[in-house]
Chains A and B, each alone.
Chain A
Amino acid sequence: MTVYAPPGTEGSVVEYRSRYDHWIGGEYLPPAKGEYFENPSPVTGQTFTEVARGTAEDIEAALDAAHGAAPAWARTSVTERANILNKIADRMEANLEKIAVAEAWENGKPVRETLAADIPLAIDHFRYFAGAIRAQEGSISEIDGDTIAYHFHEPLGVVGQIIPWNFPILMATWKLAPALAAGNAVVLKPAEQTPASILLLMDLIGDLLPPGVVNVVNGFGVEAGKPLASSPRIAKIAFTGETTTGRLIMQYASQNIIPVTLELGGKSPNIFFSDVASAQDDFYDKALEGFTMFALNQGEVCTCPSRALIQADIYDQFLGDAVERTKAVKQGNPLDTETMIGAQASNDQLEKILSYIDIGKQEGARVLTGGERAELGGELAGGYYVTPTIFEGNNAMRIFQEEIFGPVVSVTSFDEFDDAMKIANDTLYGLGAGVWSREAGTAYRAGRTIQAGRVWTNCYHAYPAAAAFGGYKGSGVGRENHKMMLDHYQQTKNLLVSYAPQKLGFF
């Protein structure tokens, strides 16, 4: 067991700067209007650094830097770019513990997750796209003996990326790695809840990239995100967030006729068929862990398995065991490696979760465990903690239909396969799903019937590079985490070449 010291205190492995400017053109530039905003840690509610409050002027400066760097970056060979991505990964690996502790402090998530998942996955992601871009090939179509269509991949140019706060570094990496591999320059706007950890990362890796290839501008959505998303100087916008902002970003993109990729969340069903409980073995234990995954990252995951559907004949037994497993989740200081669930990322996030627990109770859902703010006392007293909560209800309730983005799961039962599929698909969203069965045919048919981009089958919350991730229905547009994301950051150049000397004969 290890309890890390908070960044910047005696004995800590990492230190944040006391103030962060914008990272533009390979250096820190103060905000044009000279304003900064405070950045509190959700662990204690106390401010630990201040961050530049960007405006349209800063976005323009970043776009200038990006446009200055983009042509030369686009001309680099794939070997050069892949080597840089690999060096970024190596540098991150050498500083893994620092980055992991820093991210946990800024986001409130348990350090055991950042050490074992967030940062290792980010490192691997850079390596994956280093490999993918080396292996990418264009194509040739032989139209006829003398006419050939060549297809080349070309970068889009300068792209905008807006990053969410739930995995500040991993989500930035999901967008940066393919964009850079494909040869684009980037202007990136982190979430205002987690503006500093990505800059701590830039302090570590910034020297590996040509100036201006990656630019980071912080600030509030309306002041910095909007000028970026609506800028006619970007060739693409990528966004992870919620549906209304997603629509607004699509609207801006339509005005500039540029492509968008959107990842807009979900309300993922986690389905447990009867045979899961046919033996009390490792698999049963794994399925119970799969249920409890709703508490991973405090439930602040777009694919949180926030609806559990349990077949009626095992409902009482499985749910009873699942409640016990959930009660065993250890909540506490995120910097303690024994802690399984940390703090919600912000006060308004905490308030929103509590408002959902309230409407859940009003709608008649039964609280089986949790259902309240966790008062942890001591130096954590000002932090934002919620006890893992299990509701029992039905799929028409708001808590079954809206993404709470907290450690809250809503449980119901089903009788037959078709009932499970009907409930699973009765949602606006289609990002993730979980299917648990020992019977391969059942699991396969369920996976193919559920309208979601990712169906974890006898597992949950794994995010390896090379497994495509993205949404059906209201959950968005595009697929991250896979080489197909390169296509979202590339133009296709077709050279249609005639080798025939003869004229067509039309004129």
Chain B
Amino acid sequence: MNHDGAGHLPQVEAHRVDLTQAAADLLVRLRERHGELMFHQSGGCCDGSSPMCYPQGDFLTSEADVHLGDLVVQAGAGVESGGEPTFTVPVWMSRTQFEYWRHTHLTIDVVPGRGAGFSVEAPEGVRFLIRSRLLSDEESEALSSSGR
């Protein structure tokens, strides 16, 4: 959770983006193969509107993008052998697209399918999918007061 500038916690803990357990489990497996990961939400044709998952840093983000948040994922079997208990996966979206999406909360899910694009999960026979709901007024307030 972010603190605001005055050191106060927002009244409501709000996130712009979350993920389902199935998506979290898949991220654990993908991270073992590809290393640290990131998402960039796509728009437009064909596989547009899909969250694209890349090795961290493969896709160059910039001032043209908004960092929606970091997904916190429980790490897999590596925990017992001394690895970190959790890892994070940042989620990005282009700034212009965000202006049209900012009133919605996003949940990254996974479904059977065959996405194109260079997203790393496609060879597994599954595809990340965005599910959306409207942010509540309280969530919107909390997010804007924490500068997100």
Q: Is B134's CB within 8 Å of the partner chain A?
A: yes
- Residues of chain A with a CB closer than 8 A to B104's CB: 359, 398
From known contacts A264-B45, A355-B130, A428-B97, infer whether A191 and B116 are also in contact, taking CB-CB under 8 Å.
yes
Among B45, B58, B123, B130, chain A packs the most CB atoms within 10 A around the CB of: B45
Partner of B46, one of A241, A247, A358: A241
Interface size, chain A (Cβ < 8 Å):
54
Q: Is B35's CB within 8 Å of the partner chain A?
A: no
In the complex, the answer to whether A355 meets B129 with C-beta atoms within 8 Å is: yes
- Residues of chain A with a CB closer than 8 A to B114's CB: 192-193, 346-348
Nearest chain A CB to B107's CB is how many angstroms away? 10
In the complex, the answer to whether A362 meets B43 with C-beta atoms within 8 Å is: no
**Cα–Cα, bound, A244→B117 (Å):** 8
What sequence of 0s and 1s flags, for each residue 353-377 of chain A, a beta carbon within 8 Å of any chain B beta carbon? Answer: 0011011001100000000000000
**Cα–Cα, bound, A404→B48 (Å):** 8
**Which residue of the partner chain B has the closest CB to A348?**
B113
- Residues of chain A with a CB closer than 8 A to B42's CB: 242-245
What sequence of 0s and 1s flags, for each residue 223-255 of chain A, a beta carbon within 8 Å of any chain B beta carbon? Answer: 101100100000000001111111110010000
In the complex, the answer to whether B60 meets A362 with C-beta atoms within 8 Å is: no
Q: Is B47's CB within 8 Å of the partner chain A?
A: yes
Query: Considering the complex, which residues of chain A in the window 135-167 have a beta carbon less than 8 Å from any beta carbon of chain B?
Result: 164-166
In the complex, the answer to whether A363 meets B134 with C-beta atoms within 8 Å is: yes
Nearest chain A CB to B109's CB is how many angstroms away? 8
**Cα–Cα, bound, A251→B123 (Å):** 23
In the complex, the answer to whether B43 meets A474 with C-beta atoms within 8 Å is: yes
**Cα–Cα, bound, A402→B116 (Å):** 18
Q: Pull 12 A–B residue pairs with CB atoms less than 8 Å apart, ordered by A.
A: A220-B122, A221-B115, A223-B123, A229-B118, A243-B94, A245-B47, A245-B116, A248-B118, A348-B50, A348-B112, A355-B132, A403-B44
Interface size, chain B (Cβ < 8 Å):
41
What sequence of 0s and 1s flags, for each residue 29-64 of chain B, a beta carbon within 8 Å of any chain A beta carbon? Answer: 000000000001111111111101010001110000
Q: Is A475's CB within 8 Å of the partner chain B?
A: yes
Query: Considering the complex, which residues of chain A in the window 384-410 have a beta carbon less than 8 Å from any beta carbon of chain B?
Result: 396, 398, 401-405
Nearest chain B CB to A299's CB is how many angstroms away? 12
- Residues of chain A with a CB closer than 8 A to B101's CB: 398, 401
Q: A222-B119, A241-B117, A428-B100 are in contact. List 4 more A-B contacts (CB 8 A).
A: A263-B45, A265-B48, A351-B127, A398-B132
In the complex, the answer to whether A362 meets B133 with C-beta atoms within 8 Å is: yes
What sequence of 0s and 1s flags, for each residue 10-41 of chain B, a beta carbon within 8 Å of any chain A beta carbon? Answer: 00000000000000000000000000000011
In the complex, the answer to whether A244 meets B45 with C-beta atoms within 8 Å is: no
- Residues of chain B with a CB closer than 8 A to A243's CB: 42-44, 48, 94, 97
In the complex, the answer to whether A402 meets B49 with C-beta atoms within 8 Å is: yes
From known contacts A244-B42, A245-B42, infer whether A404 and B49 are also in contact, taking CB-CB under 8 Å.
yes
From known contacts A245-B118, A348-B129, A428-B97, infer whether A356 and B111 are also in contact, taking CB-CB under 8 Å.
no
- Residues of chain B with a CB closer than 8 A to A266's CB: 44-45
- Residues of chain A with a CB closer than 8 A to B67's CB: none
Among A223, A349, A356, chain B packs the most CB atoms within 10 A around the CB of: A349
- Residues of chain B with a CB closer than 8 A to A126's CB: none
What sequence of 0s and 1s flags, for each residue 183-195 of chain A, a beta carbon within 8 Å of any chain B beta carbon? Answer: 0000000011100
In the complex, the answer to whether B123 meets A222 with C-beta atoms within 8 Å is: yes
In the complex, the answer to whether B46 meets A165 with C-beta atoms within 8 Å is: yes
- Residues of chain A with a CB closer than 8 A to B118's CB: 221-222, 225-226, 229, 245, 248
